[in-house]
Amino acid sequence: MLVLALASGSGVASGSGVATGSAATTAAAHPGTAAASTTTGVTPDADAVATDCTTDGGTRIAQAPPALGRLQSELAWGVTRGAGVVVAVVDSGVDANNPHLAGVLAGGVDLVGDGEGRNGYADLDGHGTAIAGQIAARAIDGSGVLGLAPEARILSVRVFATTEKQARDDGFGPTIPRIAEGIRVAADAGAQIINVSLSTSVDAPELNDAVAYAAGRGSLVVASSGNADNAQSVEEQGSTGVRYPAGSPGALGAGAVDANGAYDANSVAGAHVAITAPGQSILTTATGGIDCVYSDDMAHTSFSTAYVAAAAALVAAAHPGETPAQWAYRLEATAVRPDADRRDDRLGWGVVQPYDALTLAPGGALRGPASPFGGGDGTGGAGGAGSAGGSAGGEDAALALRHTDPAATLATTIAVVGGVIGLAVLGVLGVLAHLRRRRRAEADPESFGV
């Protein structure tokens, strides 16, 4: 295996029919988003994306993403592949030139204003491109890379350039106001699911308000629980405690398990953890148009968050009439956990099982989190955002413990869906509506971990 640095050039193609204006125009419409902050976040996890991309010596990796077998992908795809759902990736941008993402991007916006991320379709860091691929990468010849929701669409909301010191000093690193703004932009653009693979220990009103705003617009925010190895973020190395926006009311906080499905100590534990997903040995898309494996050494919650967001996209596609809280409940109630009645601070309600979430029948006294459907609360109390359900067969504890090692094989081909222009116009109109309402955001002195 060859370890190499990701390409990070600019000048990424913007795609057809999805332009939202230049970075300069966007920055002007968002006063304050590009202002320098005294300190912004830099974390080893973000740097790992730029340096620890592992390939097989070429541009393509033929194997399937190992996590998909643990995520009931084949069973879930028999119900839905996520068509009709837009997932916003609030991150470092998305490299639109990766062939796995052709036809996937539904629009984008740049809130950084550094001149590099036109329409959100550039990624100097690599983080956002990796996340987007986990969620919605489509199959191409010679590659096994595929997203968990491969017919969903991605809205790129670029909120930081890189986590390097120079970018932070210039005001282009991740900040609380810009992340909060990104969540609001995504909600206004009509994204049903909003992925935020970022965390801070600061209980910021801006983040809580943004998550509440998104929920009011029908969007579910899925956010990472944080990584213990983020030595340069605001929290102490290895500390536990609530991270935000994962801990914001209405958000679904995602922790990580390792390649064997066990809790990984790098995943920050706390009351904000609602659910977990695989976060180690992640095969996905990279900048420069290649395939890469990330996080071979340990699990990272950026990647587990992407899989939870993809699972949420599948649920939203299958149950479009339900609320974000009900989507979240389906995921929590059906997750695999040691005790059907309780969540814990390491695993939340357990490891996500998308197929079981899709087929859960609302109503009944399912053990676990409280149900927002109004037909029967579980015994465990509400966790995370909460959502709805009852098992496909009305089972109780057995449902949550049933799929410990699902026998699922990977699909190697998938049709590319159309409708790029319609979704793009929807996204652009939502973004522009938001920009007209936006108040000035002040630079943030705290750190974000990715």
Phi/psi of residue 121, nearest 5 degrees: -100, 50
Which of 302, 304, 387, 391 is the catalytic position?
Answer: 302
Which of 30, 52, 92, 127 is the catalytic position?
Answer: 127
**Tokens 């706390």 — which residue?**
270
Which of 45, 47, 52, 91 is the catalytic position?
Answer: 91
Can you give 120-162 as a three-state secondary structure string? Answer: HCCCCCCHHHHHHHHHHCCCCCCCCCCCCCCCCEEEEEECCCC
- Could you tell me if residue 402 is left (phi over 0), alpha (psi between -120 and 50 degrees) or otherwise beta? alpha
Task: Give CA separation, 357 vs 188, 314, 315, 405, in Å.
Answer: 26, 9, 7, 16
302 is catalytic: yes
- The helix-helix angle for 301-318 and 127-136 (nearest 10°) equals 40
Q: What number of other Cβ atoms are within 10 A of residue 404's Cβ?
A: 10
Cβ atoms 50, 43 nearer than 8 A: no
- The helix-helix angle for 176-188 and 420-437 (nearest 10°) equals 130
Cβ atoms 304, 316 nearer than 8 A: no
127 is catalytic: yes
Catalytic residues, by residue number, are 91, 127, 302
